[in-house]
Structure 1
Amino acid sequence: MKKAVILVAALTLSGCQTLDPYTQESKTSNATKGAGIGAVTGAVLGAAVSSKKDRTKGAITGALVGGAVGGGIGYYMDQQEMLLRQELEGSGVRVERIGDQIRLIMPGNITFPTDSYTVSGGFYPVLDSVTKVFIKFDKTVISVDGFTDSTGSFEYNQNLSERRAASVSQYFASGGVAALRLQSRGYGERYPVASNDTSSGRAQNRRVEVNIRGNQ
């Protein structure tokens, strides 16, 4: 049974090398990683629920099913990530991939006027591009999180972060993204990504993060 699991996992991973269109480097796609993890998990479960004499067969069946499920989620997010990177190139919005989740980091200086929670008019085309991708890839849930620097009172920063996150979320909804897929939260000055002791650090901390994950 152990040999069967190793064989199926190896075959699943054999097609893993793809060319990153942005770095031109060969890499293992997230779809393949998901397929490999799903294959191993499915093999273990398949063997566990099978009788002793059918354990190897159960492992292989479970691996194939698990690989298909894991690969499907990874592939779906791979395609969404690729389109987001194309749409957001040169916009100032950073796209990060974390497993089967995608994060968009929108700097505050291009998203909102100072001390305002009204989206800057010049940022509308960027949000329109993101909205278009969200509508195309509708099997995801979206969390919009707002953050500030530490300038001002904790209460003020908390309120501003909540309003900014809500403004971006509402913009997506007004563009046709289903409201049930959207959630907005504000974290104020909590969770800084840089030091608040410098102007450049504070600028990095003023941001909106859009987290995208599969709902299936």
Structure 2
Amino acid sequence: MTRKKHLLATSGLIVALAVAGCAQQGGSTGGSAGMSKTTTGALAGAALGALAGGLTQGHDKAKRALIGAGIGALAGAAVGNYMDKQEQQLKSQLAGSGVDVSRNGDSIVLNLPEAITFDVGSAKLKPEAQEQLGKIGGVIKEYPQTIIDIAGHTDSTGSPETNMALSQKRAGTVAAYLARSGGLDFKRMVVNGYGESRPIADNGSEAGRAQNRRVEITLLPLTQG
């Protein structure tokens, strides 16, 4: 990525995270009450400040931030055991929720389809998404050596620019909600929107487009090196 494109992407994510910090105000129901203006402002400020921790810079900077905070890295057989326990808890908590939990080597991928997270074209979390993210955040909080990669994705309907902006806002919304409800530090997060560029199904059918509209949370262990 060129420096100009990187700056544009970072600027877009700054806006997305600021919007995400405000998106939930007055929009929650049931047990997830809307935030006060003070809380909303604090979260939006935290989201902006979190960029200094490297949300768009990748996993290496997140690792350095955790190690700098005194979190010890995992090594050897401890890595697999650590991720096994986390995976089991997530599968137990999310059974029947519509959130897919899969394992890819030493990482865990949580696939949150649009059907349970957002209305079409919206970056405001549905109540059921808030419930599931609350469970996810509760589990992750027990595992401080986990890096949280949050990626927004869309289908190919609409312009690439619109899709990129929507994917960034949705990823930012999920990050902000995990920070608020789960008390998770932004420094643990790598947050990006990829628009329509990473499909997992054929955009030529509605079923395929529905699969492509998603947010993926990938959990990675903090390892040495």
- The TM-score, its normalising length taken from structure 2, stands at 0.65
- 2:196 is aligned to 189
Which runs of 5 or more residues in structure 1 are unaligned?
1-67
Match among 135, 144, 166 for residue 129 of structure 1: 135
Q: State how far apart, in whole Å, the 2-side matches of 1:215 and 1:98 are.
A: 15
What value does the CA root-mean-square deviation take over the aligned residues?
1.1
Deviation, structure 1 residue 70: 1.5
- Structure 1 outlier segments of 4+, above 6 Å: none
Post-superposition Cα deviations, 1:53-76, rounded to whole Å, max 9, x if no partner, equal xxxxxxxxxxxxxxx932101100
Q: State how far apart, in whole Å, the 1-side matches of 2:166 and 2:147 are.
A: 23
Q: What aligned pairs does 1:26-175 form with structure 2 within 5 A after superposition? A: 69-175=75-181
What is the SS of the residue equivalent to 1:92? coil
Post-superposition Cα deviations, 1:91-137, rounded to whole Å, max 9, x if no partner, equal 00111101111000000111001110011122211010000011011
Amino acid corresponding to residue 163 of structure 2 in structure 1: N
What is the SS of the residue equivalent to 1:152? coil
What is the SS of the residue equivalent to 1:136? coil
Deviation, structure 1 residue 139: 0.7
- Larger RCO (alpha carbons 8 Å, 6+ apart): 2
Q: State how far apart, in whole Å, the 1-side matches of 2:123 and 2:75 are.
A: 40
Deviation, structure 1 residue 183: 1.8
Deviation, structure 1 residue 182: 1.1
Q: State how far apart, in whole Å, the 2-side matches of 1:144 and 1:138 are.
A: 16
Post-superposition Cα deviations, 1:153-207, rounded to whole Å, max 9, x if no partner, equal 0000000000000000111111201111012100000111111110000000000
Match among 198, 201, 206 for residue 205 of structure 2: 198
Deviation, structure 1 residue 138: 1.2
- 1:21 is aligned to none
What is the SS of the residue equivalent to 2:76? helix
Post-superposition Cα deviations, 1:19-40, rounded to whole Å, max 9, x if no partner, equal xxxxxxxxxxxxxxxxxxxxxx
Report the structure number with the largest CA radius of gyration: 1
What is the SS of the residue equivalent to 2:75? helix
Amino acid corresponding to residue 125 of structure 2 in structure 1: V
- The TM-score, its normalising length taken from structure 1, stands at 0.67
What is the SS of the residue equivalent to 1:192? coil
Count of residue pairs the alignment pairs up = 149
